[in-house]
Structure 1
Amino acid sequence: MQIDPSVVAAFTPTGKLRASINLGNPILANKDPESGEPFGVSIDLARAFASKLRVELELIVFDTAGKSVEAVGEDRADFGFFAVDPLRGEKIAFTAPYVLIEGFYLVREHSSIKTNEAVDVPGNRVAVGKGSAYDLFLTRELKRASIVRAPSSQAVVQTFLEQNLEVAAGVKQQLEADAGKTTGLRLLGERFMVIAQAMGTPKSRGHAAAAALAEFVEEMKTSGFVADALRRHKIAGAGVAPSVR
């Protein structure tokens, strides 16, 4: 994959390649408790892209998806890692997905809610991370249940418990980890959505830049880089998205 100098310039208006990193999705990014440094699949991809462009990488780290999206949409970062969503696509040019992640519902053990269909009824309140892919999706899909927005994806189960809500929604692995700290919780038996995680750059950078990023993602999938990163970081419950080549 050869990168034209004009494309490199489009990605690096400040002289560095600024990657927007969202710590709200533990499948893709986490923070080392000792060093405080971010690590994960998205960081590996960010470094590989910087290496491809032969430029210095700067990681701009956020605690929520919404803040990460805003940074790219407002040209405060040069690219990022997001769940594909039409609303986000107004300002961001997405690649094809590189990873597919499952979204699940969490309820109390004694809850009468047994199926996904039983969630969307009057009186049910669903906790979601503000600005997350689940928030955007469920805002469109839920017609009778109401949505309660937690400050971040990490705070969803805490909000669910503190406000005595009926349902929590989020990344399966995050919900499982949080549920493991509290007795009397269970996941429903099937996912309510599959989240397509892609890379994206501001549309203002032009078609050539968007095309180069899209080509990079396909290369990372077909070469086995993404699959290796998922194994290296011991990520379960997420899979490499199919190539679109």
Structure 2
Amino acid sequence: MAATRRCFCAASALVLAGCAGTRSNPPAGAIAQLGATGKLRAAINFGNPILASRGPGGEPRGVSVDLAREAARRLGLAVELVQFNSAGNVVEAVKAQQVDLAFVAIDPVRAADMEYTAPYVIIEGAYLVRNGSPLQGNAEVDRTGTRVVVGHGSAYDLFLTRALKAATLVRAPTSPEVTNMFLAQNLEVAAGVKQQLEADAKRVGGVRLLPGRFMVIEQAMGVPKGRTAAQAWLSGFIEEMKASGFVADALRRHGIEGAAVAPRSSAANRT
């Protein structure tokens, strides 16, 4: 976790500068970097139900959608919600500068290609097994012969690639496909967002979640590498959104359970 926190320490150092621009007029540099095409292109990932889902008419909704729209409003920009089904595809779009803003889990690998704010939401990663599985706890998963399916390029994929020493990772194209692949290929464990796996367990039956969590995921706003003016403004923006209750209200409004608003960053606490 210490390595993870180092990924956004630079963002925390920029909070003071960002807050001033957030509460008044955003600085010209931030507007230029976030609206280079004349609009704010925000990546919305439907692969993480904590962040976004589709409404009855297919329209994007969720805490990330609300934050993107509020940021665009304050910047005086139109917003374009660029839709994705996996975190891996979102990261590639950020690297290619096809989007101006993304909502992603903080990870040291991703830090090579993007600038982070401090986290705004903390969620949990969980394991899913069949009811008859001998596995009873998270610590039992990392054993030879255990195959763990995970969404390709997701925060869970990145974390487990580093953490697992004996078990084998199997990658599904996207996180929403993990449980179906777990069942179809008769794999031992599925890994992903706890809420997604809970919903899948109700949908398919005959499976259970292992108690607790195997990781904590810190969700932040990210921009392409080098866009430090955008990072500074967004760092102040996200602290304000947490402190004002905006993030908590969005989670409640969209019926999201099991996710917590991240604490204020250390730099914000010193203001």
TM-score (norm 2): 0.88
Unaligned segments of structure 1, at least 5 residues = none
User: Could you say which residue in structure 2 is the equivalent of 1:16?
Assistant: 39
- Distance apart, 1:114 and its partner CA: 0.6
Any idea what SS the aligned residue of 1:204 has?
coil
C-alpha distance in structure 2 between counterparts of 1:202 and 1:6, whole Å = 14
**Correspondence for 2:220:** 198
Letter in 1 for 2:119: P
CA shift digits 1:114-138 (9 cap, x unpaired): 1111100000000101111000000
| Shift in Å, 1:37 | 1.2
Partner in structure 1 of residue 248 of structure 2: 227
Q: Alpha-carbon deviations, 1:214-243, whole Å to 9, x = none?
A: 111101000000000000001000000001
Q: Which of the residues 158, 164, 176 maps onto 1:136? A: 158
Identify which of structures 1 and 2 has the higher relative contact order when contacts are C-alpha pairs closer than 8 Å and 6+ apart. Answer: 2
Q: TM-score, normalised by structure 1?
A: 0.97
Moved over 2 A (4+): none
| Paired residues of 1:102 and 1:171 also in contact (CA < 8 A) | yes
Encode CA deviations 1:24-75: one digit per residue, 9 max, x unaligned: 001110112x422111110000000001101111111011111111111211
Q: Report how far residue 204 of structure 1 moved.
A: 2.8
Gaps of 5+ in 2: 1-22
Aligned residue runs from structure 1 range 100-111, under 5 A? 100-111=122-133
Aligned pairs for 1:96-245 within 5 A: 96-205=118-227, 207-244=228-265, 245=268
- Let me know the Cα RMSD of the aligned residues: 0.8
In structure 2, distance between residues paired with 1:137 and 1:6: 34
| Secondary structure at 1:96 match in 2 | coil
Please report how far the alpha carbon of residue 113 of structure 1 lies from its aligned counterpart in structure 2 after TM superposition.
0.5
Work out the number of aligned pairs and report it. 243
Letter in 2 for 1:136: L
- Of all paired residues, the percent bearing the same amino acid is 59
